[in-house]
Amino acid sequence: MSESKRPLAGKVTIVTGSTRGIGRAIAQRLGREGAAVVVTYATNVDLAREVVQAIQQAGSEALALQMDLREIATIRHLFARTLNHFGKVDILVNNASGLATLKPTAKLTQAEYDSMFDLTRGVYFALQEAARHIADNGRIVSLSTAMTATGSPTSGAYVGSKAAIEQFSIALARELGWRGVTVNVVSPGVTVVNGNTHHQIASGRPLDASSLPQDEQEKRRLYQERMEQIRAATPLGRLGTPEDIANVVSLLVSAEAGWLTGQNIRAAGGIV
């Protein structure tokens, strides 16, 4: 691939949660564009090695490092290892997250609440490490959800945890602008990963596990019905893919996006 098609050559990128789905698509896209990529994984080292191999086959360097977003020490270790191995960090993509627990407010447990906000705390401290170590003119992108713009029954805690990430990013954009560092958010809509969406959808009425039919075939029918409703409501006429989100991240980390900071890009096919 020519240098003009490898605009990130010489850049060092950390993509958290990059073994599957959206994170994997982002890591491989940035690797194809020439960036050296640090692939992080929570438990599945085999998947991480697959992503590393794909990036290396595209002609870029890659390194797999374990990180638990709930453990601040592992986040700091991630940055220390990256700096020791590559000598710098130019780009951070905060993608790592957990599953959404969607329940009515009256039913959500403290443990379920904590499990979501523990991950949000980890994003904050990843941003802190980036604020300390990212190179001048660097790029920071964090993933949120388009649901923060619309809300939904049963989504209060989950959406609140993502809205916090958006506010972290707005503040950091103002803190780091003098160094030429841009800080932005990408908020995906419904995104299909291997035939499933990256988060549950609670559309129109409260939804929790106890309200779902027990029959697996009926669950699948309900799922397909809701996905078709969302597809029909999307101006671009389809659901998103991980590659759609990777394309937006690619733009935001490019040199051409140097005048974009403190923004939240809702990558949802026009659905509002």
> Any idea which residues carry the catalytic annotation?
158
Residue 19's φ and ψ, nearest 5 degrees, are -95, -15
d(CA 173, CA 264): 11
d(CA 123, CA 129): 10
Residue 146's φ and ψ, nearest 5 degrees, are -65, -15
- How crowded is the C-beta side of 246, counted as CA atoms within 13 Å? 20
CB count within 10 Å of CB 231 equals 16
d(CA 207, CA 116): 18
